[in-house]
Chains A and B, each alone.
Chain A
């Protein structure tokens, strides 16, 4: 951080002040059973973010999900990602007091709990490991996913008196045609050039096209490797489940060190290839029901996912984790890259319009041999929850699998009613059981095994 702003406290000073909280957080992190190499990778980002924060020369930018981090890297600006820190606080299961603290500061109960966790953690002086974030030299937001991103970071930039750049991503609605796309694409590309100008002004450096393209190539490779891993989740049993995936996506999402990300994903893939070749029976867990999850994970819900697994139900595919790999196509020129980026901004699987979203889900149900779909109607995230009733109706009709809508919150445990959720999950599992029985009966009686709609 090049400005004289308060740095985040060290983990040690946090521990001295809050030993109980520290141990609780650590315990909850560890109970996820994440492999050491993944924890080390996550730790590396936290360590380097703290280092950047305390450096007198390193410029730090805070960005929201969906922002093209490659531009920051091209200007040697450290990418701080407060949302990831809020997620970590979620995994530590320490968010409620932080959210309530932010509400005490004037943030409405109905606003996004990522933002409130981050704002609360900052105000209470928590380190990055527990939801805090640095005061950045500049802020970057985009409305490609939600309004919250742009308003949140505008507020932060204003609060700290720092410059702010917002990317306006035109909303793609159902029924959009090529003529509209041409206009939208031009607008996004023009803003990418504006972004370069902004960064040149802030850093005093000239844009280096070769360096940028080099970074983009790496991020494309990182995305490609990350997405390749999804092929192993199509296998039965799948290579990994949701609790792993939601952290596995960090490197491709935050992009702080693309070389490390590429190396990590390559290693994991190598190992996976060998394991499947050698002893596929030792991979995964007995899968009675394969689930798809739409919406953000329940970060505090490690026990919830474990409960599901005990019932033989495993989340093998999520649109949310797939959407974290932004770069979908190799490009070679700057203009081609910008056009492709424009496409990627408006095609993230997390925010697809209904025209694309429903067929996409339908296709993934086939690809991943899905038995049931859980739609997380996330009270924090209205953009992602919109349209879920229609998704339920359509998918039940088209794919003939049960669909459950769970109204919760990704990070605010106050919205999670354990008793209610359990009852609904039990009923959902019964439906999947019934579906499987019907399918079995059909096969036994010489039918095709085509799944039947269940009366309920």
Chain B
């Protein structure tokens, strides 16, 4: 199956449209082990390293892909796009302008934008993207989302390591969806048979910039912190809601995009806090690890108000800025200190 890769700072890119066009969508996540050297020729070191990692990835691998989409999210997607277009060779690149706002005016705009994207794909690849193709893609996508929901809900009850969860969120945005559904079903059976949530681990909610490499999740587990909820795009934002099953599939995608848990790149972002509070209440956990990737403005800006808002409600909250590196021993010490603080203040050891 042909691969359509996309660069997305959140969960903005409409995967279902490229699925309807016969591609397998694949989110570009960079490779922390390869670093950012290739992109650093065109982007300064004081730009988001994850975004630089994604461009490096594209510079190295674009010949394996059949198309690239970049969705509007943060300043990195907007202002790096031109460098992608100038330097990533041999593959058509498309820009999808997801609106920042979520009101009626923005919905009308987004519908036109999606239609324009569909038309451009049809023109570029001579494919058919009709109602049926879109509905099939939505059905498949919803199957993935609902399986992911089931898997994610087991984190608070069973012994599911942060790495295991990360691996599934990673596959959810990178594997061909038909194969993925089978893999998710097998994994679900495996996770259901796992032992109970381990004593000694502290359940937390993870929020902030997307965690795109497994080593960070391992670090959290090493520090005794188990992520049982999150609001990441490489996480719950991707599957917390399903796409409505309505007669008009394009409108369904618009509605889905506006109803999913909010990311920090959208305004107003207040409902981000509502989602976090709801998740904490539902799962009965009281610790939040908030973090942002170095140079990530949207999440650093949101932390200024979300962290005090959560603390004000009595939750144990820690905010960190993290580097784009697979090994961070200093961070481990700080995470362990956070766990200790939670314990000292009477936070719950397990669910």
Contact = CB atoms under 8 A, between A and B. Distances in A.
A194 B102 CA distance: 13
A322 to B, nearest CB: 20
A111 B292 CA distance: 12
Interface in B58-101: 72, 74-76, 78-83, 85-86, 95, 97, 99-101
B85 A386 contact: no
A191 B301 contact: no
Contacts of B190: none
A407 B44 contact: yes
A191 B82 CA distance: 26
Interface in A119-150: 141, 143, 146-148, 150
B44 A385 contact: yes
A171 B77 CA distance: 10
A353 interface: yes
Interface stretch (A154-162, A225-233, A297-305): A154-162
B296 to A, nearest CB: 8
Contacts of A209: none
Interface stretch (B145-153, B169-177, B278-286, B302-310): B302-310
Most buried by B among A150, A159, A180: A150
Interface residues of B, number: 52
Main secondary structure of the interface of B (DSSP, over half): helix
Contacts of A155: 301, 304-305
A382 interface: yes
Contact of A164 (B41, B105, B268): B268
A152 interface: yes
Contacts of A170: 72, 97, 99, 109
A354 interface: yes
A244 to B, nearest CB: 29
A383 B100 contact: no
Contacts of B46: 110, 377, 379, 382, 385, 407
Most buried by A among B42, B78, B112, B308: B78
Interface stretch (A100-108, A275-283, A424-432): A100-108
B335 interface: no
B178 interface: no
A184 B97 contact: yes
A390 B86 contact: yes
Contact of A147 (B41, B99, B298): B298
Given A168-B99, A186-B112, A388-B44, A174 B85 contact: yes
Most buried by B among A143, A155, A385: A143
16 contacts: A106-B304, A107-B304, A108-B303, A147-B297, A151-B267, A151-B298, A154-B268, A159-B305, A170-B97, A170-B109, A173-B85, A173-B95, A382-B46, A385-B46, A386-B79, A390-B83
